[in-house]
A = this chain, B = another copy of it.
Amino acid sequence: MSEQQKEKMTIIFFSGTMDKAIAAMILATTAASMNMDVSIFFTFWGLNFLKKGRVYKGKSILQKMMEFMMPSSRSKLPLTSMNMMGLGPAMMKKLMESTKTPSLEEFFKMAKAFNVKIYACSTSCGIMGVDNSNMIEGVDGQMGAAAFLGEAQKSKINLFI
């Protein structure tokens, strides 16, 4: 089937928590393995998923404060329900390991192997002072909301996570 005829799925990944990142990665890799064309748009807190590490150079004071206070990379993401449910991210990782569930890192690698497209929201990058050099390998570039909604219009499944 040609690229044009493949069914599409788009995900807006807003939340930047470990548990939602796992959900997004499972949905994305599964859909891609079913021969769907999948794009994920990382925005707001979701941008933390794509960060290589902390960078302060070239940022305003506010952006530096923000950088300091947010998780340094995707291995440090908190859980949505950390306090509420009393479960720490470390315990979640152990539990996944012990049940032979792939880790977030492994899901990301699978996603890239299945050609899942990974976009950083250009508006969020501007607000937070993030540029391409500060992002992990595998990011397919920055994209604005209009371009992403263009993708969403062609999709069968659109999710905001």
Q: Which residues of A contact B (CB under 8 A)?
A: 7, 9, 12, 14-17, 19-20, 22-23, 26-27, 30-31, 33-34, 36, 43-45, 60, 62-63, 65-66, 69-71, 78, 80-87, 91, 94-96, 98-99, 101, 123, 126-129, 144-146, 149-150, 152-153, 155-161
19 contacts between A and B (CB under 8 A): A12-B23, A22-B44, A30-B144, A34-B146, A34-B150, A36-B149, A36-B153, A45-B80, A63-B95, A65-B91, A66-B95, A69-B87, A70-B87, A83-B83, A99-B129, A101-B127, A152-B156, A155-B157, A158-B158
> Chain A interface mostly helix, strand, loop or mixed?
helix
